[in-house]
Every structure is written in structure tokens, then in C-alpha cells.
Amino acid sequence: MSSQHPDNASAPPWNQSPLIAGDDEVEEIYQSWFNLGCQEAMWDAEGKDVDLNVIRKLLTKHGEVFREKLIGRDYFLTYRIPNPAVEKSDRKVFFETLQSIPKHFDVCKVFYGDGAIPPVFEVILPFTSSVHQMIQVVNTYRKAVVQLEDVFIDFPNVKLKDIIGEIIPDSVEVIPLFEDFESMANADKIVSRYIELTSPRYVRVFIARSDPALNNGLLAATVMAKLLIAKLVKVQNSTGIEIFPIIGVGTLPFRGGLNPTNVDRFLDEYGYVATATVQSAFRYDYPQNLVVEAVNKLNNNLPSKSMQTDAIDETTALKVVEKLSKHYRMFAEAAAPTIAHLSRLVPPRRTRKLHIGAFSYGRRLGNIELPRAIPYACVMYSLGLPPEFVGLKALHELSETEYSFLRDVYVNMRDDLTKVSSMVSFENINILLSSEVENRPDIAPIRNALPLYVEDLETAENMLDVKVGPRTFSERKYLNLVNNFLLSYLENDTASAAEELLKAARARRCLG
């Protein structure tokens, strides 16, 4: 599944600018399907303005290639809609997006004739925390979109469908997106009840990796994802309804660790899922031949293995997550003001809604406002402080059973940490701890939290034998960039700082 996550450092080969907006996003779907081999595209109405004429524009511009390929059969377009229970300012967008679904079929009917099928029939519901939210989507579409066709419009017997035509599809499938610890822990109950109430033919469940990492750290997020997969297997076995997990992953380990160079390792870790997102950095920051090859391998291998119902002990998993999350949050909450301040230097890649005031669209950690996961990770990488290590000293608090459990569940833990270990800048750490910046209020929060991070690095070396620091000339060149970023920022040269931030992002092949 191609997605519109704004994590690419470089511009797409088909676009002059790395900022993708307007009709460029429509073209992006075509490119993802036909040139990269993706089978599905997420059309994201959450937190950004989305073109509700996307199907018509695709068929108008690329009609020749779509004659033999049906959207809804050969390629799939899946809306991500706002959750009206959470995103209050977008409640009408939620409704507007559902209302737009039938018109896509009308366009296809004109284009394909009698062979037309509904091109959009599934929607992703973010922040799902209860079965009621899922049922409300189903019923809103059924009662406020489909059943309106039978409303009388004119005396004596003119109905709405006589004016606008029949409404197809007559239902939508809801894909719950679980993004926080509590909802992930209760996902099995939510999905089971949804199956009981709606008797679907199948259920797709979206497992977030970015927000769980933002709120709980790399290790806890990985355990949470595996626990959720295990729970879904049990639901499938008990209900007899097939469940197809989707996982949303970025290119570096903190947000999931799927990029064109490590598909095999990803399959070892998350081969249980049916679908994986290939985000913007995956598609645009690597050579296209590698991207095509990697997408093809994912298409041919997912799912690559099945999880046993007793593979993960829930009680142990929850204890491990609690301990790991506690230590991660100690650093993240303390450092948050500096990270939020520096995130304004992260270049935009999509036209998102405002992150302030009535249209605020950030993330909260306790009482602290954080940027979203991509700019958060970008700032941490740019400072030479890979977020993968944050909270690692919690390993000392795990019992022998819990530590063994973690190593068994997180297959690539040591490899993932080793992958980012060369990105640690001790020079930047020393600068941030030096007396030269002790009176900088913008730096004080992360400066005060740094001793915790140093303990995390020591834990990586002492417990996991992960050697931190550069080993090659190219890794040293990368650290020069993040060092230049910090020095430029401390000299109040924000233009140069932003330039060095982007150079470093291109070198590691993603913003965050």
C-alpha cells in the first residue's frame, strides 16, 4: 500500500519538487500502481485536504491504461477518513468523504460500462478506540448516504434516486486503525464485537507503528504490534472470519524499519501481516529499480508466515511494555519543548492543515505537546540522537523471563539498533552538555534530558554489544552534517541549519 506520509527527503522522479500537493497526489497514485507495482493506495483525508474527484482525474488523464485494469479489482484505492469522535473540526469532512464514495462508481460506470465495479469500498478509521466508532461509520454511510436515495423529493412519487441515480456501493467496510496502547490492548474485543454486530465476510485491521513509537519508544511499539497480531489470530480462530492485518511502517527502525534494502529482515519481523505501507521515503529516496524489486517481493511474500496463538504471553508483554514505555517517556517528555521548537525547521512534504489553534494536528505525550512522528524523528536524527535508543536503560529493570521474552519477540532488536548506531554524534552530545549553551532556554529541555540518553547508549553497548559511533568514512561524513546542523542552529543561522538538516536527511534517505 502506497501512502502519503511526508517522510521523503528527495523529490519523486516524476515531480520537480519534493512537496507533493494537489493534482500531483493524483499522479502519485498512478505512478505507485503502474511504475512501482503497488497494489493499493491510501487516499488520506485525515489532517489534510483531499481531492474527492480522484477517480475521475485518474481515468481522464490515464484512461488508456485503465481500460484493461479495473480500480477496485486490479488496483485498490482506500480512503483514510477523519475520526469524528477525535478530530472535532473535521466531522463534516468525515461526512463529506463518505458522501463522495458513490460518485466514484458513477464515473467508472461511464468509463467501463456494464463491467464497472465500485472502485472505493473500504475506509480506514484512525484512532479507533471502540466498536461504536466503527459501527457509526457503517451506519452513517448506510443511513445518511445510501438510504437517502429513497427520500421523497417531489410530489407525488419522485425519490432522490430518480434525480441522482442509484447509490453504489450499498455499504462500506471499515478498517480500524489502532494507534495507542489502550486501544491496541483492547483491539481483540473491539474486532470481535464488530464481527458479532456486522457479520462481515472479512476484516482488515491497521496496526500503527509510528505513533506507538512516538509515545512509547521503539522496543515497546514493536512488542505492542506483535501482541496485537497475536490477538487478531485468536479472534480469527474463534470467529471463523478471516482477518488481514495491515502495518504502517517507515524506513528506519523507529517507525517500523521497512525500506528497499531490507525486505527480508522486515519479513522476518512482520511477515505475519497481509499488507505493508511503502511510504514516501521508501518510494523516492532509493533508486527506482530497487523500489520496484522490493515492492514485487512484498507483493509475492506477504503474508510470509503465520503466528501461533500461544506465541506471545499477554501478561508478560504488558509488563514489558509498561517498563519500556516508562523510561522512554522520561526522556521524551523532558526533551519535548526543544524537539517541538526545532521541528519547525523540518521541510513540508505534503500540504497539511495547520498544527496550531483550532486546527491543531500534533500529538500529545501526557501533558506535553509533541510534533508528529516524522518531524519528531527527523529532529532527533538531525541532532545525532537516533530515537531508537531512547529508554533503552529499561532493559536493566526487566526480569530474566521478561528480557528473554523481549529478545524472542523482537527478532531484529540488536540488528535494528546496530543499523542506527553510527548515527550517534558524541560531538553533538558534548556540545549540548557544554557550558556554552547552558543559558539557552530553547536548548535547556533536551540538555537536561541528555544524561538519560547517555545511559541508554551505555545500555546498548553493555547489554546488547551494540557499538555506538561511526565506523566508515561515509558515516563520519554524515555526522559532519548533523554537527553542522547543530552549530548553525546555535549560531542562529536557521537557513543554514535547515539546509544541513536536509543534507543529512538525504544521506540517511528519509526525513524521519
**Residue-wise pLDDT tens digits, 2-46:** 999 999 999 999 999 999 988 999 999 999 999 999 999 999 987
Q: Of 115, 99, 40, 49, whose CA–CA distance to 74 is shortest?
A: 40
pLDDT at 357: 35
Residue 100 belongs to some domain of the structure: no
Percent of the chain exceeding pLDDT 70 equals: 96
Asked if the model's pLDDT at residue 358 lies above 50, the reply is no
Q: Is 105 in contact with 116 (CB distance < 8 Å)?
A: yes
Asked if the model's pLDDT at residue 360 lies above 80, the reply is no
d(CA 506, CA 320): 35
Strand blocks (E) in 318-360:
none
Residue 187 belongs to some domain of the structure: no
Segment 196-211 mean pLDDT: 98
C-alpha cell belonging to residue 381: 536524527
What's the sign of the alpha-carbon dihedral 59, 61, 63, 66?
negative
d(CA 473, CA 470): 8
Percent of the chain exceeding pLDDT 90 equals: 90
d(CA 274, CA 205): 10
pLDDT at 452: 98
Convert the pLDDT of each residue in 87-123 to its tens digit: 888 899 999 999 999 999 999 999 999 999 999 999 9
| pTM of structure | 0.95
Segment 68-75 mean pLDDT: 95
Convert the pLDDT of each residue in 208-227 to its tens digit: 999 999 999 999 999 999 99
Residue 360 belongs to some domain of the structure: yes
Residue 190 belongs to some domain of the structure: no
Mean pLDDT (the chain) is 94
Q: Of 281, 195, 288, whose CA–CA distance to 235 is shortest?
A: 195
Convert the pLDDT of each residue in 470-493 to its tens digit: 999 999 999 999 999 999 999 999
pLDDT at 369: 76
- In degrees rounded to 5, what are phi and psi of residue 206? -100, 125
pLDDT at 355: 39
Convert the pLDDT of each residue in 129-186 to its tens digit: 999 999 999 999 999 999 999 999 998 889 999 999 999 999 999 999 999 999 999 9
Reduced to 3 states (helix: H, G, I; strand: E, B; else coil), residue 369 is strand
Find the domain containing 469 and state its range: 314-508
Count up the domains in the chain and report the number: 1
CB neighbours of residue 75 within 10 Å: 20
Asked if the model's pLDDT at residue 351 lies above 80, the reply is no
Provide the pLDDT confidence category of residue 350 given band limits of 50, 70 and 90.
confident
Asked if the model's pLDDT at residue 361 lies above 50, the reply is no
Provide the pLDDT confidence category of residue 47 given band limits of 50, 70 and 90.
low
d(CA 82, CA 95): 9
Provide the pLDDT confidence category of residue 364 given band limits of 50, 70 and 90.
low
Q: Of 504, 349, 291, whose CA–CA distance to 15 is shortest?
A: 349
Residue 469 belongs to some domain of the structure: yes
Asked if the model's pLDDT at residue 359 lies above 50, the reply is no
Residue 267 belongs to some domain of the structure: no
Q: How far is CA 396 from the centre of its chain?
A: 30
Provide the pLDDT confidence category of residue 310 given band limits of 50, 70 and 90.
confident
Residue 21 belongs to some domain of the structure: no
Q: Is 225 in contact with 179 (CB distance < 8 Å)?
A: no
Residue 2 belongs to some domain of the structure: no
Asked if the model's pLDDT at residue 236 lies above 60, the reply is yes
pLDDT at 208: 98
pLDDT at 75: 97
pLDDT at 365: 64
Segment 348-361 mean pLDDT: 55
Beta bridge partners of 176: 125
Going from the C-alpha of 125 to that of each of 17, 105, 136, 183, the distances in angstroms are 30, 21, 11, 13
